[in-house]
A and B are shown apart, each in its own frame.
Chain A
Amino acid sequence: MSSTAFAGPTGLNESANFPLRVVDGLTLPPEYRKALRPGEEWKDEMGRPRQLPRYFYEIPSWDSAMKIELATHFLLWEFIQVDVREAAPLRTFPRYVPCAITLLAVCLERFREAVGSMVHISANGGYRSPSHRFSKNATLHAWGTAANIYRIGETYLDNRGAIERFSLIARETLPGIWTRPYGAPTGYAEDHLHLDLGYVLSVPRDVKS
């Protein structure tokens, strides 16, 4: 891979205890750039331009994703489960995930403490690229700052009561978090709890620009 990786003064990656290297998406091979669209503008549902992430963690293998902790109770693999609707190059390793994913993990860890039980992110419900067939209108999932939670402990979030109850806990626990209201129309959710941090771009400290 000829992509640009960033190293700190010690020659290590961004953080000495974090095993993934950071890559500039603009230096990735064309098939990845086409799928990830690093740094490009993408309009949200209101027509406002949003800038897509440019810097990504490179995940070398599924095995590593199964081992790397982003937070005490969240492993990296939970954030990168995508199905056949994801662009083909992004379904095989190495995989790329926006650097802001670590912020989402920290928020979910705090949410987990508040609910006191396992929080399950659904397939296609963590990071998915702008080329994923489900991605539209600058979905926050393409920034790595959104999670669809389908189950908490033994409770499936597929009804108004469960979704609204845990949505309230999320908003009380995580300042600035946004949750989709319960319902069927576009912009609502009726079979999961969607929460996101907004359009956060994470630029690693060793990046020059």
Chain B
Amino acid sequence: MAKTENPTATRERALQAQIERIETESGAKAIGVALHDAETDFELHYKADRWFHAASTIKVPILLGVFAAIDRGDLLPHSRVHVRNRFLSVVEGVPFRVESGRDSNSAVHNAIGKMMRVDELAYHMITTSSNLATNLLLSVVGTDAINKTLKELDVDDGIDLKRGVEDELAFEKGINNMVTADGLLRILVLLSEGKAFSPALSRRMMDILHGQEFNQGIPARLPKAARVAHKTGEISTVAHDAGVVYLPKRKPYGLVVLSEWDPAGSGRSRTIATISHTIYEFLTQEPVDE
């Protein structure tokens, strides 16, 4: 008697094939995808343990580290932080600044010399990806403390936080923050399940992620009823999006799409949106009996 394959495995293989085709047609050098659907427990791991330059997706682990400090009582959401645009590179402590022109958010730059609240900085770090806000929070909480938090929460696998953002000297020396799709997905699942410190703190982090203003990736081709709590990341050679998708009348799913490109490569957001749409259709369409 012929051996029949588990239907779930068949569906997974079909989805893997679709993503592989999108990857080939996109011209990307590599794509990694991790998916966890809380509704069906379906998971997909497509090159999900491949390491990518994190770009701004590293701000999700940093957000977790900031809230760990709040959970410990080291910080309060309304604790004030001096907004100063001067940071020290991990390479020999050389000072550097965050270029205001490269930061899409002017609110934090406009506060230089003054103070902003921790929760304001966290909001700007995620929703408009403020690099200045990110480095300020990192300077208050510390890289070591954030890495310790990741380890304590058992989400350190697949996250390699080494430094702040726009540390060009470190970039030249190859010292970069790196992530895998699985690594980011583990954090997002923790947040969406309310298991990061407390349901209330998890919800606050998710609320911040829901405020994301860059929506050309995962949300772009989803129905209007979809709400996505997510964080994008893009530099010349990578384009990422990592988030949790909420659809009406079903539990959410976590999705991470990481991609690496030649600097001249185009169609990055479109590729992420296509993968997101493919997964949305896959999860919401009834399996067809063959």
Residues of A within 8 A of B (CB): 81, 83-85, 120, 122-125, 150-151, 156, 158, 184, 190-192
- With the chains together, A114 CA to B115 CA distance in Å? 27
Given A122-B113, A156-B112: A84 and B95 interface contact (C-beta under 8 Å)? no
- Nearest CB in chain B: distance from A65 CB, A: 14
On whether the beta carbons of A123 and B85 are closer than 8 Å, the reply is no
Q: Which of B81, B97, B112 contacts A150 (CB 8 A)?
A: B112
Beyond the given pairs A84-B81, A122-B113, 5 more chain A to chain B contacts, judged by CB atoms under 8 angstroms and listed by A's residue number, are A84-B75, A85-B140, A123-B115, A125-B113, A190-B86
Minimum CB distance partner of B80 in chain A: A83
> Among B75, B79, B86, B113, which residue has the most Cβ atoms of chain A within 10 A?
B113
Which residues in B have their C-beta under 8 angstroms from that of A84?
75, 79-81, 118, 140
Minimum CB distance partner of A84 in chain B: B79
On whether the beta carbons of A83 and B113 are closer than 8 Å, the reply is no
Minimum CB distance partner of B96 in chain A: A184
On whether the beta carbons of B113 and A123 are closer than 8 Å, the reply is yes
Which residues in B have their C-beta under 8 angstroms from that of A184?
94-95
Residues of chain B in range 117-154 having any CB-CB distance to chain A below 8 Å: 118, 140
- Nearest CB in chain B: distance from A20 CB, A: 23
Which residues in B have their C-beta under 8 angstroms from that of A83?
79-82, 115
User: Is there a chain A Cβ closer than 8 Å to B13's Cβ?
Assistant: no
Contact code string B81-117 (vs A, CB < 8 Å = 1, else 0): 1111110000000110100000000000000111100
Given A122-B82, A190-B86, A191-B85: A81 and B95 interface contact (C-beta under 8 Å)? no
- Nearest CB in chain B: distance from A84 CB, A: 4
On whether the beta carbons of A124 and B82 are closer than 8 Å, the reply is yes
Residues of chain B in range 52-81 having any CB-CB distance to chain A below 8 Å: 75, 79-81
Which residues in B have their C-beta under 8 angstroms from that of A81?
114-115
- With the chains together, A191 CA to B112 CA distance in Å? 10
- Nearest CB in chain A: distance from B119 CB, A: 12
How many B residues touch A, CB cutoff 8 Å?
18
**What are 23 A-B interface contacts by the 8 Å CB criterion?**
A83-B79, A83-B81, A83-B115, A84-B75, A84-B80, A85-B82, A85-B140, A122-B84, A123-B83, A123-B84, A123-B113, A124-B82, A125-B113, A150-B112, A150-B113, A151-B113, A156-B113, A158-B85, A158-B112, A184-B94, A190-B95, A191-B85, A192-B113
> Among B75, B84, B95, B118, which residue has the most Cβ atoms of chain A within 10 A?
B84
- Nearest CB in chain A: distance from B117 CB, A: 10
- With the chains together, A192 CA to B75 CA distance in Å? 27
- With the chains together, A56 CA to B197 CA distance in Å? 41
- The 3 A-B pairs of least Cβ separation, nearest first, read A150-B113, A123-B82, A84-B79
- With the chains together, A184 CA to B114 CA distance in Å? 21
Which residues in B have their C-beta under 8 angstroms from that of A158?
85, 112
Given A85-B140, A158-B85, A184-B95: A120 and B113 interface contact (C-beta under 8 Å)? yes
- Nearest CB in chain A: distance from B74 CB, A: 9
Minimum CB distance partner of A122 in chain B: B113
- With the chains together, A84 CA to B118 CA distance in Å? 9
Q: Which of A120, A151, A191 contacts B84 (CB 8 A)?
A: A191
Which residues in A have their C-beta under 8 angstroms from that of B75?
84
- With the chains together, A188 CA to B114 CA distance in Å? 21
Minimum CB distance partner of A184 in chain B: B95
- With the chains together, A190 CA to B96 CA distance in Å? 11
Which residues in B have their C-beta under 8 angstroms from that of A151?
113
- With the chains together, A83 CA to B82 CA distance in Å? 6
- With the chains together, A122 CA to B86 CA distance in Å? 13
On whether the beta carbons of B86 and A123 are closer than 8 Å, the reply is no
Minimum CB distance partner of A151 in chain B: B113
Which residues in A have their C-beta under 8 angstroms from that of B115?
81, 83, 123
- Nearest CB in chain B: distance from A143 CB, A: 20
- Nearest CB in chain A: distance from B24 CB, A: 48
- With the chains together, A158 CA to B84 CA distance in Å? 10
Which residues in A have their C-beta under 8 angstroms from that of B113?
120, 122-123, 125, 150-151, 156, 192
Which residues in A have their C-beta under 8 angstroms from that of B79?
83-84
- With the chains together, A22 CA to B79 CA distance in Å? 28
On whether the beta carbons of A123 and B140 are closer than 8 Å, the reply is no
